[in-house]
A = this chain, B = another copy of it.
Amino acid sequence: MTAPLRVALLGCGTVGSAVLRLLADQAGDLTARIGRPVEVAGVAVRRPDRHPDVPAELLTTDAHGLVTRPDVDLVVEVIGGTEPARSLLMAAFEAGKSVVSANKALLADEGGELHAAAAKAGVDLYYEAAVAGAIPLLRPLRESLAGDQLRRVVGIVNGTTNYILSRMAETGHGFTEALAEATELGYAEADPTADVDGFDAAAKAAILASLAFHTTVTAADVHREGISAVTSTDVARATEIGCTVKLLAICERVPGNEDGEGDSVAVRVHPAMIPTTHPLAAVGGAFNAVFVEAEAAGQLMFYGQGAGGEPTASAVLGDLVAVARNRVTGTAGPGVTTYAGLPARPIAETPTRYHVSLDVADRPGVLATVAQEFARHGVSIATVRQDGRGDAATLVIVTHSAPDAALSATVSALREMPAVRGVTSILRVEGLS
């Protein structure tokens, strides 16, 4: 057997520990699959005393020294966050090491720069674990669908918010109670901002959109709304119209028009009602799923565990085998292309559909006035349901697709109408035919 490939592990939390465990447990299989053994050269951590399970001689606090060491071939980065991860990856590329990363925030913000540095050095940058944990998703987008045209990628890519929304639907509780329960059970972190405000999903959406549309999309291009404003009324209204509420990451290619405007890319994260018959509706709890629509392939769905040490480590190791094989054959895998360079479409100009529930006065002419307001903003109504109860009535309206700004302007105008006593629920609707 030839000399082993040596791996530097940066970070040793839940995912890093699982990577070490799998590397040891599957040493024989990995050797057979790669063609050379894989060996851990070192593990960079902040506090070596907190890692009694890792052999002391492997631990170091000098991450930069580790990634540039001549006896290191490959770098696995599971620190997370932008710095020092970014500098460490750049140093690794400069030193000619291939990198496997699980760092969604970094890839979403600096993916372009990192890919360029990897390409310049002739090494690999793989990051399957950054989006939807164990689900093989980035490789299918980068490779399996490389001969097709993607139209849309819609995913449930955050387990915490999916758990909270599932519990709200099951219990009738509001967001605050459901979040408290999730925190107690360990499904939400002590500071849940990254999850509930959609930052985590937005980073993943940026990565998915970049690969799907061969265009550089960063987290700043993603319109982002979290779930903290979702009420128990929203969830109840969804049930009434045969829908369920999910936090969706939506990446769309919006076709150009006859005025010469070219195609653009609309990427957004927000809660939405989807029909209970939609394949994504059944994805409950901490699971993730991503629905892909391509020109020739049609509809595809990928489903699995989106987080957790072992599932994420599985994705890291899959990438590690790939970059190790490339190292053995002296090559690098296909890079990421951004040739399409499509502009990001602002949310205001992105076509969406709204569900709106109103409390209105139950007297002649109210429906006509409300309908007129939609028409005035160029918004076409798909369905309307009116339930009278004494002198008041509930009006539930689902619109056709219209620019988001027109929908939002309509709702603002409705709030000012004397006949409208209250707007009780507004949520976008996705997946209706």
Contacts and interface: CB of A to CB of B under 8 A. Distances in A.
Interface string A297-327: 1111111110010110111111111100100
Contact of A321 (B32, B147, B298): B147
A146 interface: yes
A397 interface: no
Given A33-B337, A300-B303, A26 B149 contact: yes
Q: Interface range on chain A: under 10, 10 to 19, 20 to 34, or 35 or more?
A: 35 or more
Q: Which of A128, A135, A148, A313 gathers the greatest number of chain B CB atoms within 10 Å?
A: A148
A294 interface: yes
B148 A317 contact: yes
A4 interface: no
Interface stretch (A136-144, A190-198, A365-373): A136-144
A14 interface: no
A295 B304 CA distance: 13
A140 B318 CA distance: 9
A65 interface: no
A146 B321 CA distance: 6
A331 B329 CA distance: 8
Contacts of A395: none
A301 B288 CA distance: 11
Contact of A26 (B147, B317, B319): B147
Given A139-B143, A140-B140, A29 B149 contact: yes
Copies of this chain assembled into the complex: 2
A304 B301 contact: yes
A305 B301 CA distance: 10
A146 B339 CA distance: 30
A59 interface: no
A26 B146 CA distance: 11
Contacts of A140: 136, 139-140, 144
A295 B32 CA distance: 18
Contact of A304 (B136, B300, B304, B305): B300
B321 A143 contact: yes
Interface in A106-152: 128, 134-136, 139-140, 143-149
B297 A134 contact: yes
B322 A296 contact: no
B149 A144 contact: no
Given A144-B315, A147-B321, A282-B282, 20 more contacts: A18-B296, A22-B147, A22-B296, A26-B148, A30-B147, A32-B214, A134-B294, A134-B296, A134-B298, A136-B144, A139-B143, A143-B321, A145-B318, A148-B318, A296-B317, A297-B311, A299-B305, A301-B303, A302-B302, A329-B332
9 contacts: A26-B148, A134-B296, A135-B300, A136-B136, A136-B300, A139-B140, A140-B144, A294-B314, A296-B310
